[in-house]
Amino acid sequence: MRILDQDADAVSTLSYAGLIEKIEILRSTLRWASSLERPEIEKVLRQASALRDEVLQLSHKERFVRAATAEPSRPDLSLRRRREALIARSFSFEGTFGDSPKLLEALEIAEKAAPTALPVLIDGESGTGKELMAKVIHANGDRADRPFVSVNCGAIPDNLLESELFGHCKGSFTGATGDRKGKFESAHTGTIFLDEIGELPLSGQVKLLRVLEAHEIQRVGSDQPTNVNARVVAATNRDLRKLIKEGKFREDLFYRLSVIHVSLPPLRERRDEIPLLIDYFGDEAAEALKRRPIALTQRLRAFLLDYAYPGNIRELRNLVYRLSCLAGETADCGHLPADIQPLLADRGAAGPAPIGNHETVSADALGEAKRLASDQAERAFLERGLQEVGGLVTELARRCDMNRSHVQTLLKKHGIRSKNFREAARTESGN
């Protein structure tokens, strides 16, 4: 909850300062007015209403943040139990898989944010599951059966941005042959997912800010405002605070969007999950491709466990699908894409599995190397053991004096299928 705390502080300080400034402006308008005409009274009333809304939003947010942080710390609750607790509360994962503490934290924030209408900002590197998380937030709220509209802000040409987001009226520009709804109107009562928000040009940012403040849009070519009630979830793989410093992103918009902030970790920070994810995507690919799940040679597995995955989960998933499509029973390094084949040569793929991918010697690198070595030893032990007992998990557990379910967990962690060993033993005895 660290991120949430930090943001809550930053948002509160800034928003309160902003609110007080606005109240002062309103006060001085009234103080120096000798007489007020009806239109001016209307204007002051509108400003006062906007202020009231902001105060309400702020207090709502503060209560939300307090509720999220006031829970007793849960050191006793294992990750698995936290995940089970989400399942017990009928949380909808939408296919999100993984047990890493950061991912679970993100899911728990998503669970709390889902039933509110507060804007959520999701950040993370490319392929870390930002869009998936946006769908999780949508699916767990009371808008789940309403539209989820996704907009890639980086893919819309500047001159079409306004029409794409807010719609246009017939004849409002060359090519506007009819009235057209924008994405915000399409997302009315549902969720609008503003992907790659960091790519939105400054002119678009001003317009978006206005929608977030007034909850109304104007189609291009119309002066009629239309109320829209679309819950905003935005995502970025860029450092928005840096863009703010460079003058490329509006600070006020950032605070508007990031009332709730969810950060998704890159795969290299959750390497423990790689074996589980290989297994998970292996089964998924087998189902999609209508085939048996592939087996991996030891050197391919060692490579996959150690690879840096610059494209994160998407890259891992694509790799497993590729292997499942190209390989027969067993996939090997030769089935990897050509662009990552050179990495194999660099590390001598035929030799022992590489120890970590840290370039410099450091305490972290040592820890990582030890962990990898221990993982590899554990894996080799389990494989040898299964071979010896003909794939019988109960027998392996008995010989190691371990609980059967613990052995199963270890096998799952390494993506080892006891079934393959049983089949191999049967084949051997048949020969």
Ligand X SMILES: Nc1ncnc2c1ncn2[C@@H]1O[C@H](COP(=O)(O)OP(=O)(O)OP(=O)(O)O)[C@@H](O)[C@H]1O
Task: List contacts with ligand X (CB under 6 A).
Answer: 95-98, 124, 126-132, 237, 313-314, 317
Which segments of 220-348 does DSSP mark as H helices, in order? 240-245, 251-257, 274-288, 298-306, 312-326, 341-346
Residue 93 contacts which entry, ligand X, Mg ion, none (Cβ below 5-8 A, type-dependent): none
Site for Mg ion in 127-156 (CB under 5 A): 131
Residue 311 as a binder of Mg ion (CB under 5 A): the answer is no
Contact present, 236 and 133 (Cβ < 8 Å): no
**Cβ distance to Mg ion smaller for residue 124 or 167:** 124
Nearest CB to ligand X, comparing residues 118 and 267: 267
Q: How far apart are CA 282 and CA 270, in angstroms?
A: 18
- Specify which residues 330 forms β-bridges with: 295
Position with the least CB separation from ligand X: 129
State the binding string over 358-397 for Mg ion (x if CB under 5 A, else -).
Answer: ----------------------------------------
Residue 271 contacts which entry, ligand X, Mg ion, none (Cβ below 5-8 A, type-dependent):
none
Convert 145-183 to b/e letters by CB count within 10 Å (16 or more is b).
ebebbbbebeebeeeebbbbbbbbbeebeeebeeebebb
Task: Judge contact between 235 and 198, C-beta under 8 A.
Answer: no
Report DSSP state, residue 290. T
Cβ closer to ligand X: 8 or 200? 200
Closest Cα to residue 193, out of 249, 158, 141?
141
* Least distance (Å) between residue 284 CB and ligand X: 9
Question: In the bound complex, what is the minimum distance in angstroms from residue 427's beta carbon to ligand X?
Answer: 34
413 makes contact, choosing from Mg ion, ligand X, none, with CB < 5 to 8 Å by partner type, with none
Shortest Cβ 125–Mg ion spacing (Å): 11
Site for Mg ion in 92-131 (CB under 5 A): 131
For ligand X, the closer CB: 132 or 176: 132
Enclosing H/E stretch for 206: helix 202-214
- Residue 218 partner contact from Mg ion, ligand X, none using kind-dependent CB cut-offs of 5 to 8 Å: none
The secondary structure of the chain in percent helix, strand, coil, rounded to multiples of 5, reads 60, 10, 30
**Residue 182 site contact among Mg ion, ligand X, none (CB < 5 to 8 Å, cut-off depends on kind):** none
Question: For Mg ion, which residue has the nearest CB?
Answer: 131
Four-point Cα dihedral 401, 404, 410, 415, nearest 10: 130
Name which of 278 and 410 has its Cβ closer to ligand X: 278
Return the number of the residue (312 or 324) whose C-beta is nearest Mg ion: 312
The two three-digit tokens of residue 162, written as one number? 């306004």
Q: Which does residue 115 touch among Mg ion, ligand X, none (CB within 5 to 8 A, set by kind)?
A: none
DSSP 3-23: HHHHHHHHHHHHHHHHHHHHH
Residues 221/176, Cβ–Cβ less than 8 Å: yes
* Residue 418 interacts with, from ligand X, Mg ion, none (CB under 5-8 Å by kind): none
Of 129 and 282, nearer to ligand X (C-beta) is: 129
Distance CA 111, CA 53 (A): 24
Task: Provide the sign of the torsion angle of the four alpha carbons 232, 235, 236, 242, taken in this order.
Answer: positive
Nearest distance from C-beta of residue 57 to ligand X, angstroms: 27
Rank residues 240 and 313 by Cβ distance to ligand X and give the closer one. Answer: 313
Question: Who's near 289: CB < 8 A, 6+ residues apart?
Answer: 321, 324, 325
- With CB cut-offs between 5 and 8 Å by kind, which of Mg ion, ligand X, none does residue 237 bind? ligand X
The least distance separating ligand X from the CB of residue 183, rounded to whole angstroms, comes to 17
**Please, which residue, 98 or 293, has the CB nearer to ligand X?**
98
- Give the interface with Mg ion as residue ranges (CB under 5 A): 131
